[in-house]
Structure 1
Amino acid sequence: MVGRDLDNEVEAYILESALELPERAYRLVIHVASSEAEPVGKDTIAAAVRSYFAYRSDVQARRLRLLLREGRHALLVGLGFLTLCWGLGFLAVDLVPVPFGDFLNEGLLIIGWVANWRPAEIFLYDWRPMKRQGAVLDALAEMDVHLRIDRPDSSAEPESGTKAQRDIAGKTVII
């Protein structure tokens, strides 16, 4: 079984680069100096990278499910509290003298609606970035991974930024 660990900086770089690109078909090129190349096969490295992002995709899906469950629970609590505030507001209008009863009724309604702020935030805004990141992680779990061993005799370094910019624009991330 391939391990589920990737350097945090490498993961962040790959994920942030993928989130910036509109496409969902990615290609990862890993440059390794020949002196650092281990006898680990290219297929093993590719499987490890894909396995890591598949694992991260599963974690993200669980986080999204938990967030939506929290949203449903918060919605039930918020609507129950709003109903309670609405009922207490009716009682306040009937039992409390005129200017104060109306004031208390409006205050209770506002408090009841404020209690629904968190479920509204979850269902309107919070889930969308998590869903998008999950889709990117799914695509990264299926991306092409290539291992390029750089020979020490190739002393020609690419000009600063030009090769990396072409590769990123061409959906290739170089680490």
Structure 2
Amino acid sequence: MSATAPPPREVLPWNRFGDATRELAQMVADSGWLPELVVAVARGGLVPAGSVAYALGVKAMGTMNVEFYTDVEQTLAEPQVLPPLLDTSVLAGAKVLVVDDVADSGRTLEMVMRLLRTGSPTPGGPASQHLPAQARSAVLYTKPRSVIEPDYTWRRTDRWISFPWSALPPVTAGPDAANARNTEA
């Protein structure tokens, strides 16, 4: 019996990441629309958002914590906004650029954009009186199956993407850490 080969992956290494985010930022700048605030969709959008904000010269940043993917190709039933919550009332009248790593299914980005534009994460939910005048989205990658078309996309792919910040498993305490804790007690 032969083992099943893993599906092909799109790999974005660290040495290409800087160029990718500057090119994405250049797309935003070339459109003539410049944000006053960059909102990162955490966790995957944290690193790209910081890089895009620096490239655009935007100092104001916020974070929208959203959980949807639990593993490769495994998701929750719906994206969930997690605390701490971004106070969207302070965004009234602002030009906001939402940055994420990928619009895969697009459901996370769709929910965040709806929340920023209407004040409700669900369709038909109660609207807020404090909404940004404009909200646009930028992602490194968009997949063909995405339910939303981001305003700015660096690349398109149908492959699973290995990003440099999530390519390796989380670190765990090694045996020296356990020994250090035992000697401190």
Which structure's residues are more often strand, by fraction?
2
**Between structures 1 and 2, the one with greater helix share:** 1
Q: Which has the higher contact order (CA 8 A, sep 6+)?
A: 1
- What TM-score bracket applies, with the shorter chain setting the length? under 0.3
How does the TM-score come out when normalised to structure 2? 0.26
Greater C-alpha Rg: 1
